Amino acid sequence: MFYSIILPTFGRPDEVDAFLESIKFQLFKNFEIIIVDGSPDNILHPVIDAFKKDLDLKYYHERGLGASESRNLGCEKARGDFLIFIDSDCIVPPDYFLKVNDFLSSSPSIDAYGGPDAAHKTFSPVQKAVNYAMTSMLTTGGIRGKKRHAGKFQLRGFNMGVRREAFFKVGGYRGMQVGEDIDLSMRLQKAGYITALVDNAFVYHRRKATLYKFYRQLYFHGKGRIDLHLKHGDALKLIHMLPGFFVIYLLTGLIMGLFFKRIFIFYIYTILFYALAVFTDSAMRNRSIRVGLLSIVTAFEMLIAYGFGLWQNIILRIVFRKGSDSKKELILKE
C-alpha cells in the first residue's frame, strides 16, 4: 500500500525540519510527503531542499490558506491509497509506518484510523505536563487515544489516516476553525465508513510550550465543541461537559465555602485529593516530581479553559443564537 503524508504548516521551519528528520528514518518507506504552507512568507525552501534527495517530497506555498484548506490542497495533489494527516509539531517514531501498514494490511475493512500521541524524552517539563493533561484518564477520560477510554473514539488531525476514496466521498475537510478533524471523523462514521484506533502507532506531539498558549488553545477547543454539536446534533456527550461541570464546582464551592465552614472544608479536601491524584499519576508516568507538580497546573488549566469555552459558546450560540466565528466551509468536489 502507498501512503501520502499531508503536512499543513504556517511557516515554522524548525518544526518542519524536525518532522522531516524523523520521517527520513522510517523503516517502511512506501510513501510520499506533501507539505502545504499558508504563511505570508515563503521561508521553507531551504528546509525542503535539504531533504529532497532523501524523501519523495512535494512542497506547495499558497498564502492565506488555513489548516483545512491546506490539507485539502495536499490531498488533491496526493497519489496515495491512504491519506495520512500529521501536524508539523510532531516527531514520528521510526517504526510508525510499519505499525500502520501491518494494521491496515491485516484489517482491509478499515477506512480510517487514528493514533495517540506521547511526550518525547527531550521535551521540556512544561510540554510533558501539557501532554499529560491532554491524554490522561484523570483529565480527558483517555478519549484522545487510549485503548480503554470514556466515550467514543474520534480521529484527531495530529495523527490520523483516511482511505482516499472515503476522504473525497465525504467532502474532505470543511474549513472549521476548531474541531475540523472531529467533524471529518463524525462525517466518516455517519457515512458508514469503519474507523479504528491503532493504539501503538503514536507520534511525539510537541504541544504548546507556554501555559498561556495552552490555555488559549483549550479555551477555543471548548468553544469548538459547541459548534460541532450545533452542526451534527450529537457531538456533545457527558464526557465533554465534565470540564464545564468542573468550572461550576470550583465557583460554587468557593462561594458556598465563604458562608459554610463544613462545605469549605469538604471543598478544599476534594480539590486537594484530585490534585494529589494527578501529581502521583503524572510523577510516576514521567518519573519526575517536577513534571508531576506542573501537571497539577496544566490539568486544572485544561479543565478550566475548556469549561469556560464551553459555557461561553453555550450562552452565545444557544441562548443568544449568535453566529459561529468559524471560517466559511470549504467543500471538496470529488
Q: What is the mean pLDDT of residues 167-174?
A: 95
| pLDDT per residue as tens digits for the range 43-100 | 898 999 999 999 999 999 999 888 899 999 999 999 999 999 999 999 999 999 999 9
> Where are the chain's structural domains?
3-208, 220-319
| pLDDT per residue as tens digits for the range 97-116 | 999 999 999 999 999 999 99
Q: What is the pLDDT of residue 147?
A: 55
Q: What is the pLDDT of residue 152?
A: 62
% pLDDT > 70, the chain = 94
pLDDT band at 334 (very low <50, low <70, confident <90, very high): very low
Q: What is the pLDDT of residue 238?
A: 86
| pLDDT per residue as tens digits for the range 197-244 | 998 999 999 887 789 999 999 999 999 999 999 999 988 888 889 999
Average pLDDT, the chain: 90
Q: Where are the beta strands (DSSP E) in 48-156?
A: 57-61, 82-86, 90-91, 112-114, 117-118
Domain 3-208 falls in which CATH fold? Spore Coat Polysaccharide Biosynthesis Protein SpsA; Chain A (3.90.550)
Q: What is the pLDDT of residue 324?
A: 59
CA 301/CA 295 separation, integer angstroms: 9
For helices 238-257 and 211-232, angle between their N-to-C axes, nearest 10 degrees: 120
pTM (2 d.p.): 0.88
| pLDDT per residue as tens digits for the range 254-304 | 998 888 889 899 999 999 999 999 999 999 999 999 999 999 999 999 999
Q: What is the pLDDT of residue 332?
A: 44
Bridge partner residues of 31 (DSSP): 3
Q: Is the pLDDT of residue 146 over 90?
A: no
Residue pair 90/158 in contact by the 8 Å Cβ criterion: yes
Site of grid cell 458508514: 192
Q: What is the pLDDT of residue 323?
A: 65
SS3 state at 133: helix
pLDDT band at 188 (very low <50, low <70, confident <90, very high): very high
Q: What is the mean pLDDT of residues 158-175?
A: 94
C-alpha distance from residue 35 to each of 16, 21, 62, 160, 329 (Å) = 9, 14, 11, 16, 22
